[in-house]
Amino acid sequence: MPELIGIARLAAESPSLLGKKRVEYMSLTTRSYLTRCNNPRMPFRWMINPYRGCEFGCKYCYARYTHEFMELRDADAFEKKIFVKSFGPRRFLGELRKLPVGESIAIGTATDPYQPAEALYGVTRAMWEQFARTAGFRIGLVTKSNLVTRDAGVIASASRRHAVTIVVTITTLARDLAGALEPLAPRPELRLRAIRTLARAGIRVSVNLAPVLPLINDSEASLDAVAKAAAEAGAVSLGANVVYLKDCAKSIFFPFLEAQFPALAGRYQERFRNNAFLRGAYPEMIRERVGRIRRKYGLDSSREAAEPELWPRDPQLTLFS
């Protein structure tokens, strides 16, 4: 077996924290909490993932490839071996202080920061506590979990010093469909309740209708129902993306389709055989449909909130605690 290096070696040396029936939690040493995003199409410059892997195990999840970097290549390792990044508040604060004002940071680009591990280890909450000691960033956090409401107080504090948006993903209001697609994620009505709680706490909330899955959750009625319920709960913006399927996602999603949606399996396989993305008329139709629904409910498309009053103007004054 070749010698492991980098993150694969760190993962192999990670001590186990807890073994549950289905999932094992491991402690992972990390060199830096902030990772620079070099993809110019992404609307943020920095990424933070407090965990590696995600217990929610969504069938379409594109982030499974991140376990391959650790030489964990079983298709379901991503949802069964969860790495908890060992957190040092001073070190995290030190990294934040090196960033200039106005930088954009996305939390949860390859994991759900409020998955069940967060209830035990609290890494995401510990990060918010440090954000509340700094100022001037654009911060977006994406989650499917109502556990985020536990931190409404500290997120509201951070929102007074940064432009914060909490993005709650809801792919469908149909409970059975959500349960099939996102087996261990909280039910859609709990996510809606989370939107309401956060909005009432004065936090800007966006609803994320992603992924849009052809012939599964893409009807006007289905998308409209999510947008309507989210707007009524207090979301101010709506994002949506058509599904994309990397090979790591196909290895879970295609067998799932064959079992649950056999009539669609062949069409998906044909369309995604050589591409991770769908191109052409379909994404254009969804863009138009979502735009119409956004206008209907007065939802914004932007991911950024207005600049907070406390935003430091002096370029010499980077961050303060």
Give the footprint of ligand SF4 on this chain (CB under 6 A). 54, 56-58, 61, 63, 111-112, 144, 182, 185
Minimum CB distance to ligand SF4 smaller for 57 or for 188: 57
In the bound complex, what is the minimum distance in angstroms from residue 188's beta carbon to ligand SF4? 13
* Cα–Cα distance, 208 to 212 (Å, whole number): 10
Minimum CB distance to ligand SF4 smaller for 135 or for 213: 213
Nearest to 269 by CA among 245, 241, 243: 245
Pairing of strands 81-85, 51-52: antiparallel
Cβ atoms of 206 and 166 within 8 Å: the answer is yes
Minimum CB distance to ligand SF4 smaller for 79 or for 218: 79
Minimum CB distance to ligand SF4 smaller for 65 or for 261: 65
Minimum CB distance to ligand SF4 smaller for 49 or for 222: 49
In the bound complex, what is the minimum distance in angstroms from residue 56's beta carbon to ligand SF4? 4
138-157 in b/e burial notation, b at 16+ Cβ within 10 A?
bbbbbbbbbbbbbbbebbbb
* Cα–Cα distance, 99 to 94 (Å, whole number): 9
In the bound complex, what is the minimum distance in angstroms from residue 112's beta carbon to ligand SF4? 4
Minimum CB distance to ligand SF4 smaller for 131 or for 253: 253
In the bound complex, what is the minimum distance in angstroms from residue 260's beta carbon to ligand SF4? 17
* Cα–Cα distance, 9 to 79 (Å, whole number): 20
* Cα–Cα distance, 92 to 268 (Å, whole number): 42
In the bound complex, what is the minimum distance in angstroms from residue 228's beta carbon to ligand SF4? 23
Minimum CB distance to ligand SF4 smaller for 105 or for 168: 168
C-alpha radius of gyration, the chain, whole number = 20
Cβ atoms of 215 and 264 within 8 Å: the answer is yes
In the bound complex, what is the minimum distance in angstroms from residue 144's beta carbon to ligand SF4? 5
Cβ atoms of 78 and 54 within 8 Å: the answer is yes
Angle between helices 247-260 and 262-272 (to 10 degrees): 160
Other Cβ atoms closer than 10 A to 133: 16
If DSSP codes are grouped into helix, strand and coil, which group holds residue 171?
coil
In the bound complex, what is the minimum distance in angstroms from residue 67's beta carbon to ligand SF4? 11
